[in-house]
Amino acid sequence: MILFISMILCSIICLLIDSKKGEGVSGFIVGCLLGPLGIIIALFTKGNRIKCSSCKELINQDVTKCPKCTYDVVV
Ligand SMILES: [Zn+2]
């Protein structure tokens, strides 16, 4: 039972981390399968983000303008 609760907790944490990177569902699966290790993976993966060529900030792949410097992102 404790294992089950910790698995759910890890999944939610991974989901929260990865949803900021634009890949919420895969984070949930990784967290569910790997537990605390999944959180570490979620923290260190870049996800679907790309680097803004103007300010070098990591931004979501499906945005057309950088939220930080409003530079037009060309994908
Ligand atoms: Zn930018």
Per-residue b or e along 41-66, where b marks 16 or more CB atoms closer than 10 Å to that residue's CB: bbeebebebbebeeeeeebeeeeeeb
Query: What separation in Å is there between the alpha carbon of 71 and the centre of ligand 1?
Result: 5
Query: What separation in Å is there between the alpha carbon of 74 and the centre of ligand 1?
Result: 12
Q: What single DSSP character describes residue 65?
A: B
> Band of the pLDDT at 15, cuts 50, 70, 90?
confident
Tokens (6 digits) for 16: 């929260």
Q: What is the pLDDT of residues 17-74, one digit of tens each?
A: 777 776 667 778 887 788 888 888 878 776 678 888 899 888 888 888 898 899 888 7
Query: What separation in Å is there between the alpha carbon of 69 and the centre of ligand 1?
Result: 4
Query: What separation in Å is there between the alpha carbon of 73 and the centre of ligand 1?
Result: 8
